[in-house]
Homo-oligomer: A and B are copies of this chain.
C-alpha cells in the first residue's frame, strides 16, 4: 500500500504539511504531482469531481478514495499511523491546533495576494504593503503567542505526551516558512517564544526529517509558494 499525494509540482505549499509527517514516520507515498506533472493533477481532479472530489490540492488517494483538506488528511493519517493521538481529548486538541495553523497559513498567503490569487503580486503590491504591516504587528504576535502557549501546555517536550505528532511537524513548517518570509521580524520575535522554537528544533532533529531535508524531495522555499520573501514586506 502506498498513498498517492497530489499537489502542485514545484512548490512546498500546503502539500508540505502532509509530506512532513509522512517522511518523519517513514510512511510510503508517491508524490504524484511531481511524478506525473500538473496536467495529470488537473485531469485527476476533474476525474474525481463528480464523486466526493477535492476542491483543491493537496489530496491523498488510496484505492480510488480521495481525502482532501490538509487538516482532514492529517486527522486521517493520525488515526491510521503513529502520527496523531489516541485519546479523544488529545485528538480534538491536535485538530484544533492544526486548524489554527491553517488559519495562519491562509493569512500568510493573503499578505502577498490580498486582492486576488489570479493577479500577480506586483499588481496588488500597494495593498500587500499595508496588509504585511498589520500581519507583522498584530497577527504574528497573536498567533505565535498561542502556539507558544500550546507548546508549553503538554506534560512532555512535545505538544502531547512524549511523541511527536503531525501538529508538531506543522509548527516546524510554520516557523520555517515565517523565517523565510519575514527574517527580520522573526529574528525580533523569536526570543519571546522559546517553547515554540523548542518544538521546531526537536522536529528538525527527527531522523526522518533530517534525511528528508537533505534530500531532493524537499523543495526549496520560493516566490511561487505560500511563504514568499519580498524584502519590502518585512521589518523588525
Instruction: List residues of chain B with CB within 8 A of the CB of A114.
Output: 110, 114-115, 127, 131
A19 to chain B, nearest CB (A): 19
Q: Is A230 an interface residue (CB 8 A)?
A: no
**Shortest distance in angstroms between A67's beta carbon and chain B's nearest beta carbon?**
5
For the complex, give the distance between the alpha carbons of A67 and B118 in Å: 35
| A162, CB-defined interface residue at 8 Å | no
A134 within 8 A of B: yes
A5-13, A144-152, A172-180, A218-226 - the one binding chain B: A144-152
User: Is the contact region of chain A dominated by helix, strand, or loop, or is it mixed?
Assistant: helix
Q: Among residues 138 to 182 in chain A, which have CB atoms less than 8 Å away from a CB atom of chain B?
A: 138, 143, 146, 149-150, 152-153
Stretch at the interface among A26-34, A46-54, A183-191, A201-209: A46-54
Q: How many of chain A's residues touch chain B, expressed as a range?
A: 35 or more
A85 CB-CB contact with B under 8 Å: no
Q: Is A99 an interface position by the 8 A CB rule?
A: yes
Which residues in B have their C-beta under 8 angstroms from that of A138? Answer: 116, 118
Counting every copy of the chain, the complex holds 2
Which of B106, B130, B149, B150 has a CB less than 8 Å from the CB of A115? B130
**A150 CB contacts on chain B under 8 angstroms:** 52
Task: Known contacts A71-B71, A114-B115, A114-B127; decide if A93 and B134 are in contact (CB<8 Å).
Answer: no
Residue A22 CB within 8 A of the other chain: no
Question: Which 10 A-B pairs have CB atoms at the shortest separation, nearest pair first?
Answer: A69-B99, A116-B134, A55-B100, A69-B96, A72-B96, A72-B95, A55-B146, A68-B96, A115-B130, A52-B93
* A residues in contact (CB < 8 Å) with B: 49-55, 65, 67-69, 71-72, 75-76, 89, 92-93, 95-96, 99-100, 103, 106, 110, 114-116, 118-119, 127, 130-131, 134, 138, 143, 146, 149-150, 152-153
A–B pairs, 6, beta carbons within 8 Å: A71-B71, A75-B95, A99-B99, A106-B106, A110-B114, A127-B127
